[in-house]
Amino acid sequence: MTRSQDNAKRPFQDHPRSFERNRYVYPVVSRRAGGVSIGVNLNLDKVCNFGCVYCQVDRSEMGEREFVEIDRLAAELDRAIELVLSGELFAGPRFSQLPEPLRRLNDIALSGDGEPTTYRNFEQVVSVCADVRRRRGLDDLKIVLITNASMFHREHVRRGLELLDRNNGEIWAKLDAGTEDYYRLVARSAVPFSRILDNLQAAARVRPIVIQTLFMAVRGAGPDEAELRAYADRLSAIASSGGRIKLVQIHTVARPPAESWVAALPSETLEAIAAEVRARTGLEVAVFGG
């Protein structure tokens, strides 16, 4: 691979959650968004209620526990948006090789080093993002919540989701398993699998949601046929209960995972999985390789 090819790939592979002197806000290039996503990290302490085997966050050294400085978050978010809109962002080395079609601001994404909805002032953060978006006159700019759906049953989170609904929000929710056993293997969480399924179903009945699924090779093997059937059945159950699934995103490991025995699946395997999911559910499925 030439150096220019390597530089062209790097914006997709490197998603550092640090930028300039910011604490909370970081721009990244998102393949799934098809442009620049302005990330908002609410979990500087790196605490998460999932311990996913594929997670790229280094939790060997935990960060500091703190309340988010709302005024600073707003200022950082406004500045990051200005860098993208002015084109100044693309003058720096990290984004200089980005192709022209991707030099667009796609969304503000609530994501980061842990589950964003575990932050106790989640609703307030959504409000701040909406206010910055409104002041900028960016009514079409999405606010995307990237989430494991574990906290949707909490009242303050429900209020935050309602704020998202009123501000061109979109939920990208994780569902990485079809069976209880595979969920426990992948997520390594004390949160019951049934709660995730119930929360996904309840959320999808209110608004269309995007399902994000990461399939991987675990000790050399991808999910077996029974697991894939169970996964497709979970999606169908959400839809048949009145839930709306806008899109299923199937992807794989793209950065160094938490466990050495986890690896990316080849693109042809992902495409075969996607074809099976489409056939079994009738849903729209998009594939993103490693």
73-109 tens-digit pLDDT: 999 999 999 999 999 999 988 899 999 999 999 999 9
Residues 2 and 99 in one domain: yes
Q: Is residue 192 part of a domain?
A: no
pLDDT computed for residue 60 by the predictor:
73
Residues 225 and 277 in one domain: yes
pLDDT computed for residue 4 by the predictor:
40
Q: Is residue 60 part of a domain?
A: yes
Residues 149 and 179 in one domain: no
pLDDT computed for residue 21 by the predictor:
86
Q: Which domain holds residue 244?
A: 175-186+198-290
Q: Is residue 120 part of a domain?
A: yes
Q: Is residue 103 part of a domain?
A: yes
pLDDT computed for residue 287 by the predictor:
96
Residues 164 and 34 in one domain: yes
pLDDT computed for residue 9 by the predictor:
47
| CA 151 – CA 147 distance, rounded (Å) | 9
pLDDT computed for residue 16 by the predictor:
53
- Domains held by the chain: number: 2
What CATH number is attached to the domain comprising 271? Answer: 3.20.20.70
Residues 45, 17: contact at Cβ < 8 Å?
A: no
pLDDT computed for residue 1 by the predictor:
41
Residues 140 and 250 in one domain: no
CA atoms within a 13 Å half-sphere pointing along the CA-CB vector of 138: 21
pLDDT computed for residue 64 by the predictor:
64
| CA 279 – CA 211 distance, rounded (Å) | 17
Q: Is residue 193 part of a domain?
A: no
Residues 141 and 68 in one domain: yes
Residues 119 and 48 in one domain: yes
Amino acid code (one letter) for 114: G
Is this structure's pTM higher than 0.85? yes
pLDDT-above-90 percentage for the chain:
82
Q: Is residue 191 part of a domain?
A: no
Residues 64 and 100 in one domain: yes
Residues 137 and 242 in one domain: no
Task: Give every residue of the chain whose pLDDT is below 70, as ranges.
Answer: 1-18, 62-66, 290
Q: If residue 217 lies in a helix (H) or strand (E), which one and from where to where?
A: strand 217-218
Residues 5 and 148 in one domain: yes
Q: Is residue 26 part of a domain?
A: yes
Residues 66 and 126 in one domain: yes
Q: Is residue 86 part of a domain?
A: yes
Residues 139 and 280 in one domain: no
Q: What b-and-e string marks burial along 184-193, b requiring 16 or more CB atoms within 10 Å of the CB?
A: eebbebebeb
| CA 184 – CA 44 distance, rounded (Å) | 25
